[in-house]
Structure 1
Amino acid sequence: MKEIKEPQMTYVGRKLAYHSAFFGTIILVAYLISHANFLIVLGLMYLLSAFVINGIFLFALLVELMYKTAQWRAYMIAILSMLLNIPLSLFYFFIVSHPLFLS
């Protein structure tokens, strides 16, 4: 039986989504522990850069999906993994900004 290999783009996409969520969580936890204001700036810069990098890679995955429809499941898993970072980052933003709106 021939083993179907996962496309490298989908592997990289899933890893990029995982690492984006991981580093965002590290910044959030560091802020919640220390309440250092520079972590807010770092988090916003990270959010912007992760949005641009993930957005470009997401677009590349969508384009490649159009040409390689035989492995659509692998591409959809990678795309959904990347899209799950959007509500996660909005939730993190709400956690950090919520005390600012109460005061």
Structure 2
Amino acid sequence: MEEIKEPQMSYIGKKLAYYSALAGTIILIAYLISHVEFLIGLGLVYVLSAFVVNGIFLLALLLEVIYNTLYWRAYIVAIISMLLNIPLVILYLFILSYFHL
């Protein structure tokens, strides 16, 4: 049987989502441990830059879903994994608002 390989775009999308979440989590944990105010600014800059990079890649994945329907499931999984970072950021903001006040 021939193995169907995952498209590189969906693989990169899932990795990008994973590493974006990981980096944000590391910044949050570092702030919660140290309470260094610099990490708040770093986190905000990181969230904005991750939003731009992930947003551009999300648009590319959406175009891939439209034009390359053979692997639509793999692209949808990558899109969902990228969109799961949004509630994660909201949760982190709630955590910061609780601990920062």
TM class by shorter-chain length? over 0.9
Cα distance in 2 for residues equivalent to 1:24 and 1:88: 9
Structural mapping, 1:6-25, within 5 Å: 6-25=6-25
Match of 1:2 in 2: 2
5+ unaligned residues in a row in structure 1: which ranges?
none
| Structure 2 counterpart of 1:27, one-letter code | I
**Does the residue aligned with 1:63 lie in a helix, a strand or coil?**
helix
Shift of 1:99: 4.2
Match of 1:45 in 2: 45
Structural mapping, 1:1-103, within 5 Å: 1-100=1-100, 103=101
5+ unaligned residues in a row in structure 2: which ranges?
none
Cα distance in 1 for residues equivalent to 2:99 and 2:78: 34
- TM-score of the superposition, structure 2-length normalised? 0.96
Cα distance in 2 for residues equivalent to 1:27 and 1:21: 10
- TM-score of the superposition, structure 1-length normalised? 0.94
Question: 4+ runs of 1 displaced by more than 3 Å?
Answer: none
> Identity across aligned pairs (percent)?
67
| Structure 2 counterpart of 1:24, one-letter code | G
Cα distance in 2 for residues equivalent to 1:40 and 1:62: 32
